[in-house]
Amino acid sequence: MEKESQTMARYDGRRFDELRPISFKPSIAPNATGSVLVSFGNTKVICAATAEKKVPSWLMPQSAEKGWMSAEYSMLPYATLTRKQRPVSAGKQDGRSVEIQRLIGRSLRAVTDLSKIPGHTIWLDCDVLQADGGTRTASICGAYVAAKIAVAKLIEEGSIKEDPLIDAVAAISVGLLGDRAILDLPYAEDKDADVDANIVMTGSGRFVEVQMSGEEATFDNEQLCDLLALAKKGISHILQLQQKAIKEGLE
């Protein structure tokens, strides 16, 4: 059996349920309120949380009671092997980036008590420095670390009174490659996967977002459950690494 599992091992030698090496390097962008460079293998994303003393106009009437949190996601032109044109040159953001930044924003707001940042917007900027699969889930993981560091700084300087982040949040990609559920897909696996899923969970083990898509493929209930279980396992580990990174970032 051992032999078979070895022949079936992933092209980078990982087990099917194994994460890539993960690291969080705090303070990559010192002018942000909080920042971190997050790496999942060769995927590297600059995550920065910046507080602004204003809220979107549609929130104005309630701005004394509530704040806002919003994400922006972008690929740097040299993040991919083929240079990607900047959004401002293309004239607009591509649809994929719009979809991703909406996911990041929703994921962080799900663990945030917006009434604890009245009159403030916390921006979560995620700029991909190197793309090798899983940039959206890495962005969520890094955005949480950056936000946590930013919040500590805002409390320290007296801008806000209490920590609005009421739970931790982390995310991971899982997928089906043939019949096999695999964890944390790099680009080489992602492009061949039949089903691509992104799972976001809280520190207390609850789901925030479940997104499973078959591009020119479908999946059944059992496969769905396998993917969720695999994601849960990966997220538990990431949550521990985030706590360690936040501690370091606040030292």
B/e letters for 121-148, b = 16+ CB within 10 Å, e = fewer, are bbbbbbbbbbbbbbbbbbbbbbbbbbbb
Element (H, E) at 110: none
Rule CB under 8 A: is residue 240 a binding residue for a copy of itself?
no
- Comparison of 3 and 92: residue with beta carbon closer to a copy of itself: 92
> How many residues touch a copy of itself (CB under 8 A)?
68
Task: Tell me the closest approach of the beta carbon of residue 82 to a copy of itself, in angstroms.
Answer: 8
Rule CB under 8 A: is residue 110 a binding residue for a copy of itself?
yes
Q: Which stretch binds a copy of itself (CB under 8 A): 17-25, 157-165, 207-215, 233-241?
A: 207-215
Whole-angstrom Cα distance, residue 170 to residue 204? 11
- Comparison of 9 and 157: residue with beta carbon closer to a copy of itself: 157
Rule CB under 8 A: is residue 171 a binding residue for a copy of itself?
no
Query: Which position has the token pair 């899923």?
Result: 197
Q: What residues contact 108, with CB distance under 8 A and at least 6 apart?
A: 69, 71, 124, 140, 143, 144, 147, 169
Q: Which stretch binds a copy of itself (CB under 8 A): 3-11, 15-23, 111-119, 172-180?
A: 111-119
Burial of 210 (0-12, 13-18, 19+ CB in 10 A): middle
Out of 19, 22, 79, 154, point to the residue binding a copy of itself (CB under 8 A): 79
Q: At 204, list the tokens.
A: 């207390």
Rule CB under 8 A: is residue 74 a binding residue for a copy of itself?
yes
- The secondary structure of residue 137, as a DSSP letter, is H
Rule CB under 8 A: is residue 190 a binding residue for a copy of itself?
no
Beta strands in 8-79 (DSSP E): 22-26, 34-40, 43-52, 68-75
Rule CB under 8 A: is residue 220 a binding residue for a copy of itself?
yes
Interface positions, 34-63, toward a copy of itself (CB under 8 A): 35, 42, 46, 48, 50, 52
- Chain residues binding a copy of itself by CB under 8 A are 28-32, 35, 42, 46, 48, 50, 52, 72, 74, 76-83, 86-89, 91-93, 95-96, 98-99, 101-102, 106, 109-112, 114, 123, 125, 127, 129-131, 167, 202, 204-221, 224, 228
